[in-house]
């Protein structure tokens, strides 16, 4: 069985142990996938997030999933793309790595990622996808969990980029 799956759909509907949120430094909600997660999880999520005192770019923090099918939400803060000379690729790599480490720590067997930073943070989609896939593959090679990893893509462009990279 393949450990990495590509699914086009809404992350908030994924029936997995944990989903990853592309959050911002405040962890208090925002637009895009972050807004969708807060709406679907309910106000209890915001209350737990307030106690976390934000999150640094490239780092990750975990909360419960509340009204989501997912038991946990791993909140990570991707870099805002700003010409690529400000450590953006390394910070994005760190988001995936730290999220995976938290997942292992919490015994998460199935984990779903969105395409971190590729929305309003404007990270170039092909580069973001290759960093995501490379980082995940390397981690899965060295760790038994998560057993199942889903790249949950929302837009057509990311879907074809991931499809190409995962199937060649
Ligand atoms: P960022 O600020 O990290 O760029 P965004 O939420 O703006 O975060 O975008 C990240 C990615 O999440 C984008 O590729 C966007 O298409 C995708 N996205 C938006 N809503 C959802 C959703 N409900 N489920 C999965 N992915 C989503």
For residue 168, what pLDDT is reported?
86
| CA 34 to ligand 1 centroid distance, Å | 7
The total domain count for the chain is: 1
| CA 22 to ligand 1 centroid distance, Å | 7
Helix axes 88-105, 125-142, angle to 10 degrees: 40
Does ligand 1 have an atom closer than 6 angstroms to the CB of 36? yes
CATH of the domain at 45: 3.40.220.10
- Straight-line distance from the first to the last Cα atom of the chain, in angstroms, rounded to the nearest whole number: 17
Strands (DSSP E) contained in 24-168 are 60-64, 72-77, 110-113, 148-153
Distances (CA, A) of 112 to 71, 73, 85: 12, 10, 29
Q: Domain range for residue 128? A: 4-166
Distances (CA, A) of 79 to 3, 85, 144: 27, 12, 28
| CA 107 to ligand 1 centroid distance, Å | 25
Tell the residue nearest (CA) to atom 10 of ligand 1: 119
Kindly give the pairing relationship between strand 60-64 and strand 72-77: antiparallel
For residue 1, what pLDDT is reported?
65
What is the C-alpha separation between 127 and 82, in angstroms, rounded?
A: 14
* Matching residue, tokens 């949950």: 152
- CA 72 vs. chain centroid, Å, equals 12
| CA 36 to ligand 1 centroid distance, Å | 9
- Per-residue pLDDT for the chain (168 aa), expressed as one digit of tens each? 699 999 999 999 999 999 999 999 999 999 999 999 999 999 999 999 999 999 999 999 999 999 999 999 999 999 999 999 999 999 999 999 999 999 999 999 999 999 999 999 999 999 999 999 999 999 999 999 999 999 999 999 999 999 999 998
Does ligand 1 have an atom closer than 6 angstroms to the CB of 129? no
């Amino acid at each position: 069985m393949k450990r990495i799956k590509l699914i086009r759909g809404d992350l908030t509907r994924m029936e997995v142990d944990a989903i990853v949120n592309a959050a911002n430094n405040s962890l208090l909600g925002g637009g895009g996938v972050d807004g969708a997660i807060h709406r679907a999880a309910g106000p209890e999520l915001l209350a737990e997030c307030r106690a976390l005192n934000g999150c640094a770019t490239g780092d990750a923090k975990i909360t419960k999933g509340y009204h989501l099918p997912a038991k946990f939400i791993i909140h990570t803060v991707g870099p805002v793309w700003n010409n690529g000379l400000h450590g953006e690729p390394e910070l994005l790599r760190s988001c995936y790595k730290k999220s995976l480490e938290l997942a292992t720590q919490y015994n998460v067997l199935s984990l779903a990622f969105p395409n971190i930073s590729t929305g309003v943070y404007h990270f170039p989609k092909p580069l973001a996808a290759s960093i995501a896939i490379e980082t995940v593959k390397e981690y899965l090679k060295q760790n038994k969990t998560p057993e199942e990893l889903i790249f949950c893509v929302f837009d057509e462009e990311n879907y074809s980029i991931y499809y190409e990279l995962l199937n060649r």
